[in-house]
Chains A and B, each alone.
Chain A
Amino acid sequence: MRDEIAPLLDVVDLHTVFQTRGGDVHAVNSVSFSVAPGELLGVVGESGSGKSVTMMSLMGLLPSSARVEAQAVNFEGRNIRDMSDDALRVLRGRDVGFVFQDPMTSLNPVFTVGYQLTEALRTHLGKSKKEARARAAEMLSLVGIPDAKARLNDYPHQFSGGMRQRVMIAMALACDPKLLIADEPTTALDVTIQAQILELVKGLRQKMGMGIVWITHDLGVVAGIADRVMVMYGGQIVEQAPVKELFANPQHPYTIALLETLPSLTGERPERLRSIDGQPPILGAKLTSCPFAARCRQVMDRCHRENPTRREVKAGHDVACWWDATQGGAA
């Protein structure tokens, strides 16, 4: 999109609607983005902002109550939307790896770690049991699990939380995917383990060179590892910029407010950490106004009438807002 390298993943105008008893819920509204090969894209937003749903919709991992529509979802130039369920399934296992939030429940308790690691290898790469086990052991030691070969016979409950997340990562990377989707992989872990996992992923990325989409609600995590950041709110992308640019020059009032909620290491300690008042919107209908209008400090009349579209601030940095942060008035 922005440079000459063909993107690994290119999404144009994605909509996801959940059909529930209480009516439709528009969880993802007109989301477009791309991930370059080897790039780490951080996706930030609070709970219910649609960040996980966006990624799950792309790969067909949502329940059948979800209706996904998109103009195009291209993975390496192939349109995923045209793929059969089987082709998508193979893509999911071989070319895209997933790591989920809660390592305590994401592994099947009744199968050994070895079995769960070799499953994808045997399904997608047609490896024999022996080859798959060798590769699985290799992957386990790669993610820093000592005595990997012996631990293949252990069950998930014999691992600690951090170790399980390492197993999940090993599982996601076993088939050498081109894209890793990490859905809040460190949220359920304590800070020390979180730092270890971040280091691990950084290292693995250098070794294996896959593109990564890192979903999180922790801006600190994003600052540490991402190349580019996408801020989501109310099921749409409100701001998107390279990581340094975003932290130095935030444009959207939501991004600004989010950055203010971070505790600062320098200066006087404030009485309380700041928070953003109000609740995220319930997306019962198609948006006709800015979803953040109700909580926005810079709200204008126009915000209630029209949902802003994304406009470019400078190369590689765009924002969906009627307010202009640099001039302090309407854009």
Chain B
Amino acid sequence: MLNFTIRRLMFAIPTLLVISFIIFAILDLAPGDPTASLPMTVPPEVRAQIRSTLGLDEPFIIRYFLWLKQFMITEPLNLIESSFGITIGEGDRLRLTSWATRSPVVDLIAERMPQTLWVVGMSQIIAVLIAVPIGVISAYKQYSWIDQLGTLFSMIGFSVPTFFTGLLFIVIFSVNLGWFPSIYDTNHVVEDWDSFVFQIKQMIMPTMVLALFTAAQISRYMRASMLDNLNQDYVRTARAKGLKEQTVLLVHVLRNSMIPVVTVIALNIPTIFGGAIITEQIFRVNGIGQLLITGIVGADIPLVQTLTFIFAALIVLFNLIADILYGMLDPRIRYE
């Protein structure tokens, strides 16, 4: 298993290099000028100068390798230095800076990361907690009213886009009922019970919007997978052994049914960042998704390149995690 993991990580390097080149190329070819948002009074010579200080005069391939070096070597070193308080080499390196804000891209991302991780991460956990029981019960009581209800839930959850559920939630829970704040306050610091309660309150709506969407999907996979397994011969064997129905269902059938579902869950995690872009906008959660939108609107190419690349890296990473989990759950699969 360790060998397999190491080998897969090695394979990830060329994949990520290709992805990084494509991302860089696409964004470079896209129309957009970092000086476009400057006032019209700025003369063209100044604009040209700005562009040359940003390094835009250099040929495409040189800029790509500089970006790559920056992203792959310099920034990780910076990150290690700042987190462990040590200095490697000269210590004073160039930072990859955002065109719009002039601050280092990595710092911007690090600043936004906690909000996204809290909201998106929590939504994933809640989604699994909702979806697995729904899937199990729906399959076990197939065609019963509870199954119909589960089907209705997933159909609604899956077909209604998050921007609609988000707005609906705001109208119901913030405007009409006044239970939760409609805007996420990033500056809020949790220091005592009351502030903790407030943090929970402001997290509930964005988390639930994302969780419902994801749970709708996962519960369907869960149901289908349970149904597949419930008719298997080994279930009859387990019943013939006189095991409790609960044991048959939650030990024998569930473990087998989780195998494909775990893959779906793992592969879903990076893509949820896409859904989070919209949800973060609606609830004013200034997380990664919102940062990406700001970057795109302001033609802040270094920021967008970096973020897109991080998403790509996440997808590659979670593919690997899915494969490893698959091997752990199913003894028939051994990676050698």
Residues on A facing B (Cβ under 8 Å):
59, 61, 89-94, 97-98, 100, 102, 105-112, 119-120, 123-124, 155, 157, 168, 171-172
Contacts and interface: CB of A to CB of B under 8 A. Distances in A.
Nearest to A124: B242
24 contacts: A89-B243, A92-B242, A93-B243, A97-B240, A98-B240, A100-B233, A105-B232, A105-B233, A105-B234, A106-B236, A106-B237, A107-B234, A109-B330, A110-B331, A111-B252, A111-B255, A119-B238, A119-B241, A120-B241, A123-B244, A124-B242, A157-B332, A168-B237, A172-B240
Most chain A Cβ neighbours within 10 Å, of B233, B241, B244, B247 = B241
B329 interface: yes
Contacts of B241: 92-93, 98, 119-120, 123, 171
A171 B239 CA distance: 13
Contact of B243 (A59, A109, A120): A120
A213 B113 CA distance: 66
B239 A109 contact: no
A155 B332 contact: yes
B331 A155 contact: yes
A108 B242 contact: no
B74 interface: no
Nearest to A95: B242
B252 A92 contact: no
Contacts of A171: 237, 241
B268 interface: no
Contacts of B247: 123
B332 A108 contact: no
Nearest to B244: A89
Contacts of A108: 234, 237-238, 252, 255-256
Given A157-B332, A171-B241, A106 B233 contact: yes
A138 to B, nearest CB: 18
A174 to B, nearest CB: 9
Contacts of A89: 242-244
Contact of A102 (B233, B242, B255): B233
A110 B255 contact: yes
A120 B240 CA distance: 10
B93 to A, nearest CB: 50
A109 B237 contact: no
A110 B330 contact: yes
Contacts of A120: 241-243
Contacts of B233: 100, 102, 105-106
Contacts of A155: 331-332
Interface in B221-275: 232-234, 236-244, 247, 252, 255-256, 259
Given A110-B255, A119-B241, A120-B243, A61 B236 contact: yes
Nearest to A59: B240
Contacts of A168: 237
B45 to A, nearest CB: 70
Contacts of B259: 110
Interface string B304-334: 0000000000000000000000000111100
A330 B247 CA distance: 56
A56 B219 CA distance: 32
A93 B332 contact: no
A91 to B, nearest CB: 7
A171 B234 CA distance: 12
A168 B329 CA distance: 23
Contacts of B242: 89-94, 120, 123-124
Given A91-B242, A93-B243, A106-B234, 8 more contacts: A61-B236, A61-B239, A106-B233, A106-B237, A108-B238, A109-B256, A119-B238, A157-B331
A107 B329 contact: no
Contact of A61 (B240, B244, B255, B329): B240
B225 to A, nearest CB: 13
Contacts of A107: 234, 237
A90 B330 CA distance: 30
A148 B329 CA distance: 24
A120 B244 CA distance: 10
Q: Which 4 A-B pairs have the closest CB atoms?
A: A93-B242, A98-B240, A105-B233, A108-B234
A90 B247 CA distance: 14
A63 B246 CA distance: 16
B185 to A, nearest CB: 46
A120 B247 CA distance: 11
Interface in B83-124: none
A100 B236 contact: yes
A111 B256 CA distance: 10
A111 to B, nearest CB: 8
A94 B331 CA distance: 29
A93 B237 CA distance: 10
